[in-house]
Amino acid sequence: MTYAADPMTEKEASPTIKERLTKDSITGVLMNIVGEHYYIKDEDGIDRKIHVDKSTKLDKVLPGDLVKAYVTDR
């Protein structure tokens, strides 16, 4: 029996120390995923929309998961 390679394995999030120190972050509950946008309700109850593309490092997440996103202005 063989298993297909998990396409998420090579994209798992592991921010560098520099990324952790210099980037803004959003922590909250992932509410929805629509195309390349993730909607997160942050700790203050504010809904945030972040853009995710092929260059984004991420773990497998589903709506309802607690997430921490390191973000840039782009």
pLDDT tens digits along 1-43 = 554 555 554 555 665 666 555 568 899 999 999 999 999 999 9
User: Cα separation of 54 and 39, whole Å?
Assistant: 17
pTM over 0.75: no
Given a contact cutoff of 8 angstroms between Cβ atoms, the answer to whether 21 and 66 are in contact is no
Q: What is the 8-class DSSP label of residue 20?
A: H
Mean pLDDT computed over 49-74: 87
Amino acid (one-letter) located at 57: K
User: What is the pLDDT, as a whole number, of residue 53?
Assistant: 87
Residue 59 has a pLDDT of 86
Determine the Cα–Cα distance for residues 5 and 43; give it in Å rounded to an integer.
Answer: 35
Q: Which has the closest alpha carbon to 28: 14, 36, 20, 38? A: 38
More confident residue, 17 or 55: 55
